Structures are given as C-alpha cells and as structure tokens.
Structure 1
Amino acid sequence: MAQFSPTLDLVFHALSDPTRRAVLARLGRGPASVGELAEPFSMALPSFLKHIRLLEDSGCILTHKTGRTRICTLVADPFSAVELWLEKQRSTWEAHTNRLEQFVTETQEPS
C-alpha cells in the first residue's frame, strides 16, 4: 500500500475542494478549455488557475495548449490507485464487521 501513498495524498487533496470536484465532474464528459471550466465559478481567473494547477500536479488532469487556448483532459490512472486503496479498506472493514456480527450472534442468549 505504501507504493500508492504519494499518489493517494495528491488525489485526495485534489478531491478535497468542491471547485476541483466540479471541474473533474465536468471533464468526465470530455475535454474542455480553462475558460469553459472557469465559467460557472465566481472567482478571478488567477484563483481558478490555482485549482487547475493543483489538479494537474496531482495527475488527475493533463493540459495542453492549442493556439491561445489551454485544453484540460481527465486522466483515469490516479483514480485507479484510489479505487484499489478504497477496495482494500472496504474489505478490511467488512471483515471486521462480519467478525463483530458473528460474535454478537454467537453470544446472544437463546430466547
């Protein structure tokens, strides 16, 4: 699990902000320019670009310039690492709750 730690930290940090989550949701429908992505938010472009930079640094998106327009594209790889980590956590906790359920049902007095 330690092999995913830096990726997980960056992706979870990227997901910690509602603006960045909204940008990722929008990019899930396909590539978009920074201007298109910034349109629904009431913030200055330099502030919005900080969100884009963080998403890019986390590996969640790629950007490239076409003429004067910067296009953003969603990258699936970091989310695969998160999914793997979450699945491991789910398995661990399900095993704990299954053991707890077994303990409770075995220690109950018969009616």
Structure 2
Amino acid sequence: MRYAYENIVFPMRFTFYLSLLPIMLVLYMIDTKIPLILFVTTSIAITFCGLLGQINYGRYIAPPYTFLFSAIWFWFYPITSWIALYKYLTGGVYFGGGKVKKAG
C-alpha cells in the first residue's frame, strides 16, 4: 500500500496503473476473452522482464526462482493504486505511527 501511495508522485506510472482495471473492464464488456488474453500476455511479459532483471542484477543475491513472483508483484499495483487514490483524497495513509498526507 505504501509503495502504491508513493507512486502518486510519478504521474505517468500512477496513471498507467490506474488505467489498467478500467481498460480491462471495458474489454470485458466487448468480449470476455480479451481481458484474459491481456492479463496472460502482460503477466508473461512482466515475468520475462523479471527474468532478464534477475539475470543482470540479482543472479547471486536472490534464489533463481524469484523472477516468477514478478507478475504477482505487478498486478497488485493496479488494485492498490485505486486504494492509494482513495486514501490520498481522504487525507493520507498511516505509516510509521503517523499519517502521511503528501505522497513522495
């Protein structure tokens, strides 16, 4: 949740994450198979990027299967970004014993 809240200071990234769920909803209304294809394709692409990143940067610091979790990590952001937007509009998010009102 905290990382999604921090993404607010990166407008392009935050907008991208916010747009994924509405796009998938619209595609679902057009055809029920299209969002599934988009989900699987995006997950495969993210997992491949995670594999490349692990080969380049984390080969000896993480277990060899760590890249398999990258799609799970990615898909939490579209959901938590909507929660972060709600928290931002309602006064902030609790972190470290206090309420952080400004993202970043």
- Answer yes or no: same fold by TM over 0.5: no
The structure, 1 or 2, with the larger RCO (C-alpha pairs under 8 Å, 6+ apart) is 2
- Structure having the higher helix fraction is 2
Higher relative strand content: 1
TM-score (norm 1): 0.27
Q: Looking at CA atoms only, which structure, 1 or 2, has the larger radius of gyration?
A: 1
